[in-house]
């Protein structure tokens, strides 16, 4: 037996524990003298009175002092408390036994049960796949939502942004996709949500059927900024683990805007200068590094849906603009459509799936282009139509749009509990458009 590798491990093993002590606490930030650490490593901060410890991550340095951001509230932490280095970055327990669970960003179950056995440690901070190792997206994925499957077809491994203001139905749409998608597994990250909405989403939008093939990572709005950021990293890491096992994974993150806001809090706390609308430079570095981790690799796929909260329904605010430039398409949920009772309130004309031409047939593209042209013609002339200034027979295209627009909108309307295959959705649209051609 060759024992040389074991002897080398023993020789390289560092048996020393490294300690420092808290120098001061400033707002969200802990400042300590020592220990010897590097950016991203996790430390235990030991409270003097309660003899409990909290986890904190190294986020920067100030002269000889270490700047740490806690994963939990700073109760009983004060000047002089011991800081112990773990000499490693954050990792979570992952495995097939995790499917059907609801966990926090550190991998702890939120239902009060003990931790699931048979899991392995997996680092939350990973590199994006090599661009040349990514297979092209050539296969459509079924979402179970008529509008998406017919007019905005999504491919296996595509990354989509769902842009919406508050209360326009994005959580309901995510729940429909989770229940009806043809993916093998869902990983859902609820970042910065209100506490009451978590159980409501699980029971109402997702249901037991959806939960059976889902892992949910929850970081509510009351948790420290670093926990909200790590919620996004943990959900992405879990998706990467299953992708490497050959799964086709759906990652749904609600919302990437709150991840950016949490990073802004961290950046401002460590002294970064605020730039566009108060967002720090690290926010615009975090977004591509996080979003590029999803997609395809040689083993499996991660089809990602990221919701983006649109401030005042402004699609050009900094986070929306940055995310739209990174992802492979964007869906816009329109408040005006929602107010008319249209669900899902997807504005087809403002939405685009960039890989749709690669994954659909020429005939399907022609059908969709015809439907878009009808909706566009109606939209351009809606004021004339509504005030009665347009006379029937003046323009054949407008006449067709007046007749067909209500029928197309009715086709795009879908009940929350309704499930339909992509083939059925395309066939219904095909028949609808063929009537207009006649």
Burial of 172 (0-12, 13-18, 19+ CB in 10 A): middle
Output the pLDDT for position 12.
65
Output the pLDDT for position 4.
76
- Mind listing the pLDDT tens digit for each residue in 379-405? 988 888 778 887 887 888 888 888 899
Output the pLDDT for position 142.
92
Average model confidence (pLDDT) for the chain?
Answer: 88
* 235-256 mean pLDDT: 94
DSSP string, 352-399: EETTHHHHS-HHHHHHHHHHHHHHHHHHHTHHHHHTT-PPTTS-HHHH
Would you call the peptide bond into 100 cis, given omega within 30 degrees of 0 as the criterion? no
Confidence tier at 332 by pLDDT (50, 70, 90)? very high
Sign of the alpha-carbon torsion through 101, 158, 306, 229: positive
- Planar angle of CA 379, 325, 264, nearest 5 degrees: 115
- Mind listing the pLDDT tens digit for each residue in 118-141? 789 999 999 999 999 999 999 999
- Mind listing the pLDDT tens digit for each residue in 169-203? 888 899 899 998 889 999 999 998 888 888 888 88
* 414-435 mean pLDDT: 88
Distance CA 216, CA 101 (A): 6
Output the pLDDT for position 313.
62
In CATH terms, is domain 92-357 a member of 3.40.50.12240?
yes
- Mind listing the pLDDT tens digit for each residue in 35-80? 889 998 999 998 877 778 889 999 888 888 999 999 888 878 888 8
- Domain 363-435, what fold? Substrate Binding Domain Of Dnak; Chain:A; Domain 2 (1.20.1270)
Closest to 261 measured CA to CA, from 287, 290, 240, 243: 287
CB atoms within 10 A of CB 203: 11
* 226-255 mean pLDDT: 94
Q: Please tell me whether residue 157 adopts helix, strand or coil conformation.
A: coil
What residues does each domain of the chain span?
Answer: 16-89, 92-357, 363-435
Please, how many CA atoms are within 13 Å of residue 141, restricted to the half-sphere of its CB?
A: 28
Confidence tier at 312 by pLDDT (50, 70, 90)? low
The answer to whether 16-89 and 92-357 have equal CATH topology is no
* Residue 221 DSSP one-character state: T
| Assigned architecture for domain 16-89 | Beta Barrel (2.40)
Q: Which two tokens stand for residue 33?
A: 């003298």
- Planar angle of CA 431, 437, 438, nearest 5 degrees: 90
Dihedral (Cα; 19, 20, 25, 31), 10-degree rounding: -110
Q: Please answer whether residues 106 and 55 qualify as being in contact, where contact means their C-beta atoms are separated by less than 8 angstroms.
A: yes
Output the pLDDT for position 166.
79
Distance CA 43, CA 105 (A): 16
Query: Maximum Cα–Cα distance for the chain, whole Å?
Result: 92
Please, how many CA atoms are within 13 Å of residue 176, restricted to the half-sphere of its CB?
A: 23
């Amino acid at each position: 037996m060759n024992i040389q590798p074991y002897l080398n491990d023993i020789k390289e093993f560092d048996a020393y524990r490294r300690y420092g002590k808290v120098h001061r606490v400033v707002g969200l930030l802990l400042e300590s003298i020592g220990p010897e650490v590097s950016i991203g490593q996790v430390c235990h901060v030991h409270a003097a009175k309660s003899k409990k410890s909290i986890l904190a991550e190294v986020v920067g340095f100030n002269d000889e002092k270490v700047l740490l951001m806690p994963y939990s509230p700073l109760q009983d932490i004060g000047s002089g408390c011991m800081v112990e280095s773990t000499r490693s970055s954050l990792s979570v327990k992952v495995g097939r036994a995790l499917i059907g669970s609801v966990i926090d960003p550190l991998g702890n179950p939120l239902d009060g049960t003990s931790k699931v056995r048979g899991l392995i440690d997996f680092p939350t901070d990973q590199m994006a796949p090599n661009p040349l190792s990514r297979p092209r997206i050539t296969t459509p994925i079924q979402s179970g939502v008529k509008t998406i499957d017919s007019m905005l077809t999504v491919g296996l491994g595509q990354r989509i942004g769902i842009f919406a203001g508050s209360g326009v139905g994005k959580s309901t749409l995510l729940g429909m996709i989770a229940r009806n998608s043809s993916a093998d597994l869902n990983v859902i990250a609820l970042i910065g949500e209100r506490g009451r909405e978590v159980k409501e989403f699980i029971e109402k939008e997702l249901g037991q059927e959806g939960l059976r093939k889902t892992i949910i990572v929850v970081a509510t709005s009351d948790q420290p900024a670093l926990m909200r950021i790590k919620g996004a990293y943990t959900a992405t890491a879990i998706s990467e683990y299953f992708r490497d096992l050959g799964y086709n994974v759906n990652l749904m993150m609600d919302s990437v805007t709150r991840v950016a806001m949490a990073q802004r809090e961290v950046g401002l706390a460590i002294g970064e200068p605020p730039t566009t609308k108060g967002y720090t430079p690290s926010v615009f570095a975090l977004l591509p590094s996080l979003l590029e981790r999803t997609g395809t690799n040689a083993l499996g796929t991660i089809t990602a849906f990221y919701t983006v909260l649109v401030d005042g329904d402004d699609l050009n605010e900094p986070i929306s603009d940055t995310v739209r430039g990174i992802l492979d398409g964007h869906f816009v949920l329109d408040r005006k459509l929602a107010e008319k009772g249209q669900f899902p309130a997807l504005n087809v004309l403002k939405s685009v799936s960039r890989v749709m031409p690669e994954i659909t047939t020429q005939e399907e593209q022609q059908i969709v282009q015809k439907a878009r042209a009808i909706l566009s013609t109606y939209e351009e002339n809606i004021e004339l139509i509504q005030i009665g200034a347009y006379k029937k027979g003046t323009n054949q295209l407008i006449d067709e749009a007046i007749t067909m627009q209500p029928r197309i909108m009715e086709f795009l309307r879908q009940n929350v509990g309704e499930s339909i295959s992509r083939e059925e959705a395309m066939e219904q649209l095909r028949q609808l458009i063929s009537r207009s051609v006649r």
